[in-house]
């Protein structure tokens, strides 16, 4: 009987959305072998029309047929019952209370909120590239795109329907019961306000309480699994989302993105100050759209110079630890085209100076651990 060997091989099949072996997710309904030695594997998908169905089916077939002596196998696909789905979501949530925020102060995940004063300074482009650069280093990374006015993360990571006649809208996340599975791009788990909007052109006119509920739901109902790093792409400025994130994730560190333009420093500083007021620490400033090296060796400073240094200097006054300027990411055609194509420059053209500058920030973030300060150790003294 090859059933046990087939089961062992199936343990190597990973659900592309949940990122765990299908054997741990109770997705294998059974393995049988008839008198002629033909093997049939039954699998249960989480939901009907699961977008990962074709991939799971072909990976299961490949795994089963890789077992010596199996030859051609058959895969029979069914869908979990409501009870099985419920059991799966409970298993995934583990011992954590249902619908609690897994990124609270006790969490081992490092949370970074990426903010900017003005729009269009490249905050989302930097967030997407940083996430991919961190994932390339083997870290488990997630992004919450909370930029309600410019949810561009799905496009920057290629999570759009680009098929002929496709809508160019964000792909939709799979929902298993009350659990939302974030789509994965370039090894990064992504959830975006854009994934819940049917008309890309629709103006997002949400007010504070609605935004707060959405961010809360992203934190509690999206299954990110164990993340090393969670990045939040906030809308520019000092609005409701920044305040909600400050309340929900007061231990988050903040990355402020600004351009070199000295005039932009004032607004960038204000967005940092809001973060500091909600108890968050500014981890550093990233200057984007810095000087572009020319063929003759000169540097074209389209947006001036000095803005990043200035914002870092001013924000340092508001906290105990000085705020460093982490990087100056130059203007870059490759950075822009990588974003347009959904393949971030750190993957598409890692030798580009903008990719190198972003990689340097990723290297710094990757080596920080959450530390134990302020966290409950889950033990109580014996009296
Ligand atoms: N260093 C750079 N060189 C060239 N183009 C860049 C650079 N950084 C960003 N861009 C381009 O600038 C535009 C704005 O970038 P992006 O959408 O990331 O900004 P943003 O700050 O997130 O904007 P918003 O918050 O208003 O949505 C994009 O077209 C992007 O490709």
Q: What CATH number corresponds to the domain at position 132?
A: 3.40.50.300
Give the residue ranges of the annotated binding site for ATP: 117-124
Together in a domain, 160 and 78: no
Together in a domain, 166 and 200: yes
**For the chain, which residues score pLDDT lower than 70?**
1, 95-98, 163-168, 199-208, 369-383
Structural domain count of the chain: 2
Q: Is residue 101 part of a domain?
A: no
Q: With contact defined as beta carbons under 8 Å apart, do 247 and 209 qualify?
A: no
Together in a domain, 89 and 144: no
Domain end, chosen from 40, 63, 93, is at: 93
Q: Is residue 82 part of a domain?
A: yes
Together in a domain, 128 and 89: no
Residue range(s) defining the domain that contains residue 56? 3-93
Together in a domain, 220 and 348: yes
Q: Is residue 33 part of a domain?
A: yes
338 lines ligand 1 (CB under 6 A): no
Domain end, chosen from 45, 62, 93, is at: 93
Predicted pLDDT of residue 270: 83
Domain end, chosen from 65, 93, 121, is at: 93
What CA–CA distance (Å, rounded) separates 382 from 270? 47
In which residue are the tokens 């998908």 written? 45
Together in a domain, 7 and 132: no
Q: With contact defined as beta carbons under 8 Å apart, do 81 and 75 qualify?
A: no
123 lines ligand 1 (CB under 6 A): yes
Summarised one tens digit per residue, pLDDT across range 182-226 is 999 999 999 998 888 776 555 456 666 777 888 888 999 999 988
Predicted pLDDT of residue 113: 93
Which residue has the CA at smallest separation from atom 29 of ligand 1?
Answer: 336
To 5 degrees, how large is the angle CA 298–CA 299–CA 303? Answer: 155
For 351, counting Cβ atoms within 10 Å of its Cβ (0-12 exposed, 13-18 middle, 19+ buried), the class is exposed
- DSSP letter string, 310-345: HHHHHHHTTSSSPPPEEEEEEP-HHHHHHHHHTS-H
What CA–CA distance (Å, rounded) separates 141 from 135? 6
Predicted pLDDT of residue 279: 82
Summarised one tens digit per residue, pLDDT across range 341-368 is 999 999 999 999 999 999 999 999 998 7
Mutate to test the pocket of ligand 1, among 129, 336, 354, 357 (most ligand atoms within 8 A of CB): 336
Q: Is residue 374 part of a domain?
A: no
Task: State the pTM of this model.
Answer: 0.85
């Amino acid at each position: 009987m090859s059933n046990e060997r087939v089961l062992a091989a199936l343990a190597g099949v990973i659900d592309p959305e949940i990122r765990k072996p299908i054997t741990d997710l109770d997705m294998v309904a059974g393995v049988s072998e008839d008198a002629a030695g033909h093997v049939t594997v039954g699998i249960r998908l989480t939901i009907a029309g699961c977008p990962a169905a074709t991939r799971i089916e072909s990976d299961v077939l490949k795994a089963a047929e890789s077992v010596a002596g199996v030859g051609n196998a058959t895969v029979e696909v069914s869908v979990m019952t409501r009870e099985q789905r419920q059991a799966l979501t409970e298993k995934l949530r583990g011992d954590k209370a249902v619908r609690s925020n897994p990124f609270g102060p006790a969490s081992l995940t490092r949370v970074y909120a990426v903010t900017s004063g003005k729009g269009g300074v490249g905050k989302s482009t930097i967030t997407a590239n940083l996430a991919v650069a961190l994932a390339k280093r083997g870290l488990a990374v997630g992004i919450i795109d909370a930029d309600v006015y410019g949810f561009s993360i799905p496009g920057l990571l290629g999570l759009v329907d680009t098929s002929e006649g496709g809508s160019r809208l964000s792909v939709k996340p799979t929902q298993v019961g009350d659990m939302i599975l974030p789509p994965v791009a370039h090894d990064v788990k992504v959830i975006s306000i854009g994934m819940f909007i049917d008309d890309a052109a629709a103006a997002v006119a949400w007010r504070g309480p609605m935004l707060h509920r959405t961010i809360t739901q992203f934190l509690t109902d999206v299954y990110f699994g164990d993340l090393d790093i969670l990045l939040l792409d906030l809308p520019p400025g000092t609005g409701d989302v920044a305040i909600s994130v400050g309340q929900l994730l007061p231990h988050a560190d903040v990355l402020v993105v600004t351009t070199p333009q000295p005039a932009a420093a004032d607004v960038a500083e204000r967005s940092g100050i809001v973060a500091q007021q909600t108890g968050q620490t500014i981890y550093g400033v990233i200057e984007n759209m810095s000087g572009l090296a020319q063929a003759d060796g000169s540097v074209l400073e389209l947006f001036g110079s000095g803005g990043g240094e200035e914002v870092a200097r001013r924000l340092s006054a508001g906290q105990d630890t000085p705020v460093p300027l982490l990087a100056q990411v130059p203007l870059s055609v490759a950075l822009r085209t990588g974003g347009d194509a959904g393949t971030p420059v750190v993957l598409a053209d890692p030798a580009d100076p903008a990719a190198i500058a972003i990689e340097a920030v990723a290297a710094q973030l990757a080596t920080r651990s959450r530390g134990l300060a302020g966290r409950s150790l889950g033990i109580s003294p014996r009296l």
